Amino acid sequence: MRGMIELQDLDLHITELEERKREIPGHKKAFAERLKRLDDELAESEQQFKQLALNLKECEREIETLKGNILKMDAQLNTIKKNDEYRAMLTQIDLAKKQVSQKEELAIKLMCDLDDGKRKLEADKQRIAEEKRRVQAQAAAVDEDLARLQQELDQLTAQRAELAKTQPPDLLRHYERVRSAKKFPAIVSLKDESSCGGCFMNMRRQVVNELIQRAEFKSCPQCGRLLYYPGHLAAPESGPAGEAEAS
């Protein structure tokens, strides 16, 4: 009797570990997704900084182009003979100078934005690197947990196989049928000396008396679980557990 109960304890423990093992891929997927989001966040921050640098470079290029045009227009003034053309050229030069002034103000703003962007990028790099190290450490811990789980599962499975060899074959087959029907636990004690500890159906008095008198299992006619009287576990077991009666 104790052997079958010990077998069930092993099975319950194995089931618990297998459930924990099934949860691990979900954790690892979440870690991988978190790392990808961090990489994407850093890439976006780097792209924003790169765009600021490009904007500043483009503004400086436009300033140089405008200044070059002003020099050309200044040189052309000496060749213009007509007053209206001369005045028109001066107007163009004045407009270009105003554009240069506006662009230079924009360039100053862009340089400030670039400095702020650089500081933000460095802060983002440090923050994301620290977060990635934390997530990677958690992922590594999960891998270690998986390795420990698998090692324990292997040991328990081997222990279970050896214990199962020592149990009465018919009783073991009955137990496996109940388990395969997803009725957990498959072995339960008699409750209050009157009912099944699994489905709580009241037992016939004859069945109850037989359970109390003999250290054996009985099959519950309602749920098929293996029933035993808990009082027998307190005394030394005199022999192998009895076969379960057919329901």
Instruction: Please report the pLDDT score of residue 67 as a whole number.
Output: 96
Residue 245 has pLDDT above 80, yes or no: no
- Residue-level pLDDT at 234: 73
- Count Cβ atoms below 10 Å from residue 58 Cβ, excluding itself: 13
Q: Locate 77 and state its tokens.
A: 């003034």
- The per-residue pLDDT for range 19-59, each reduced to its tens digit, is 999 999 999 999 999 999 999 999 999 999 999 999 999 99
Closest CA to 149 of 15, 7, 26: 15
- In this predicted structure, the answer to whether residue 247 has a pLDDT above a threshold of 50 is no
Six-digit token string for 84 = 């209206």
Residue partners of 35: CB distance under 8 A and separation at least 6: 132, 135, 136
The second-level CATH assignment, the architecture, of 15-165 is Orthogonal Bundle (1.10)
Structure confidence at residue 184 (pLDDT): 83
Per-residue pLDDT for 143 more than 50?
yes
- What is the pLDDT, as a whole number, of residue 246? 44
175 exposure class (CB count in 10 Å sphere: 0-12, 13-18, 19+): buried
Quick count: other Cβ atoms within 10 Å of Cβ 191?
A: 16
Q: Give the residue from 215, 199, 230, 160 showing the smallest Cα distance to 9.
A: 160
**Percent of the chain clearing pLDDT 90 (strictly above):** 88
Q: Strand pairing partners for 187? A: 226
Structure tokens at 157: 């499975």
210: pLDDT strictly greater than 80: yes
User: Where along the chain do the CATH 1.10.287.1490 domains lie?
Assistant: 15-165
Position of tokens 């000396």? 193
On the question of pLDDT at 145 being above 80, the answer is: yes
Tokens describing residue 232 = 């027998």
Q: Give pLDDT, residue 242.
A: 53
Residue type, 217: F
Rounded to 10 degrees, the C-alpha dihedral 161/167/169/170 comes to -130
Average pLDDT value over all residues in the chain: 92
Q: Give the strand pairing for 195-196 and 187-191.
A: antiparallel
What are the structure tokens assigned to 36, written together? 């990808």
